[in-house]
Structure 1
Amino acid sequence: MDNGQSATRATPWQERLAAGTAAVQDEVIRWYQETPHGQAYVPDMIWGTLQTEAYATVILGQVVDFLKIPDDVPAGVDRRMRRQQVLYDGEHRYDVVLGEQALYTNIGGPAVMVEQIDRILRDIDLPSLTLGVIPAAAPVNMLPAHGFNVHGDEVHLELVSSSLNVTEPSEVGLYRDAFRRLDGAALHGDAAKGLLRKARAFWSGQRPD
């Protein structure tokens, strides 16, 4: 029992965010700074380290409203923007897989979504980033999975009621295998850009090519 408790730790969001969103964002900054090579699977929203300020403002506002925690959204957004420096410092690398749904989940309306997709198109070729997008109808050799982040030897999950950290090596190995399978179903490079441009055309009201 003790080993299981030490290998998987759950913390209720209302406890973790009792002082607002900024302190947790500081913790996330440390995770990213201390992880030279990370992996993330995000099926239905944009990975936080690629979010625009407007997109992040909506997301953190929803967190405050849902959990009824102190409203420090501007401070939380500021920390989230700082965290993104790991994409440009030349010392970190991230492999990220998005579900195509992430490009269509309405966060803030068309203008916010167009700006957000433009941001991804701008950064998709960064040396620090390998970004894949799983098409909505793609066959995936992996049962439907929730989003997760792999930081070194630890996996971080964000559930509705709590955050969960997994450190048991055999479980972490399963998440790494799941990521490989999900990444194998994703489109990369020009094909991924095609999906991004299609979503941008949808949000801008233009007809895709």
Structure 2
Amino acid sequence: MIRWYRQTRHGKAYVPAMIWGTLQTEAYATVILGQVVGFLGVPDDVPAGVAKRMERQQVLYDGEHRYDVILGEQALYTNVGGPEVMGEQMERLLRDIELPSLKLGVLPATAEMSVVPMPGFSIFDGGRAHYELVSSGVDITDPAELTLHHKVFDAISDAASYGGGARELISKALAFWSGDK
């Protein structure tokens, strides 16, 4: 995955129900990867996996990459690790939303959509869309399919909130996780 992120100069990701891996805090990533290990019964390599996920995040700071990321509003409320982990994660999103390498949007739960909602996916340079599944991933490389993925991403982007609207949704989630409901 790190190689894909380093090779991609402009990537896109739609993640409806959790925080995009490249924006996850260490605590959030630890919980997510621990759940994967427990559910699949695979060897416990969580610390190594978290370290790799943190390494992958360097693409946000090197000035050579650009990512358009849309989180579903549900991603701000899917309870990963409890209020402390989630609060820290919301603070991270509010900080990183200002990065020049990142265009971060939030798709409000009540947004009117011009397309049927999709599972989350990423689009990488070099002609590939990627879906993460329960235990593996699927890559789409057919040019006609990639064109459709870009079209779907644009439609989701049109319905998403950016800038102040995204900050407002994330701040509302932070207040929720801080107990200031």
**TM norm structure 1:** 0.85
| Matching of residue 171 in structure 1 with residue 141 in structure 2 | no
Q: Distance in 1 between matches of 2:149 and 2:132?
A: 14
Structure 1 residue ranges without an equivalent (≥5): 1-27
Q: Report the secondary structure of 2:81's partner residue.
A: coil
Number of the residue aligned with 1:147: 120
Alignment of 1:65-84 (within 5 A): 65-84=38-57
Alignment of 1:53-92 (within 5 A): 53-92=26-65
Identical aligned residues as a percent: 63
Q: Report the secondary structure of 1:89's partner residue.
A: coil
Number of the residue aligned with 1:187: 161
Q: Distance in 2 between matches of 1:114 and 1:49?
A: 17
Q: Distance in 2 between matches of 1:171 and 1:61?
A: 33
Choose the corresponding residue for 1:99, options 60, 68, 72: 72
Q: Report the secondary structure of 2:93's partner residue.
A: helix
Counterpart of 1:115, as a letter, is E
Matched residues, number: 180
Q: Distance in 2 between matches of 1:46 and 1:141?
A: 23
The Cα shift of 1:161 comes to 4.2
Q: Distance in 2 between matches of 1:185 and 1:179?
A: 10
Number of the residue aligned with 1:124: 97
The Cα shift of 1:159 comes to 1.7
Tell me how large the CA RMSD over aligned residues is: 0.7
Structure 2 residue ranges without an equivalent (≥5): none
- Structure whose alpha-carbon radius of gyration is higher: 1
Number of the residue aligned with 1:12: none
> Which runs of 4 or more aligned residues in structure 1 lie more than 3 Å from their structure 2 counterparts after TM superposition?
none
The Cα shift of 1:162 comes to 2.9
Q: Distance in 2 between matches of 1:113 and 1:47?
A: 13
Q: Report the secondary structure of 2:165's partner residue.
A: helix
Q: Distance in 2 between matches of 1:194 and 1:202?
A: 12
Q: Report the secondary structure of 2:30's partner residue.
A: helix
Q: Report the secondary structure of 2:134's partner residue.
A: coil
Q: Distance in 1 between matches of 2:63 and 2:97?
A: 15
Q: Report the secondary structure of 2:52's partner residue.
A: helix
Q: Deviation digits for residues 141-178 of structure 1, max 9, x if unmatched? A: 11020000000110110122431011001011111100
| Matching of residue 203 in structure 1 with residue 177 in structure 2 | yes
The Cα shift of 1:64 comes to 0.6
Q: Deviation digits for residues 32-59 of structure 1, max 9, x if unmatched? A: 0000000000000000000000000000
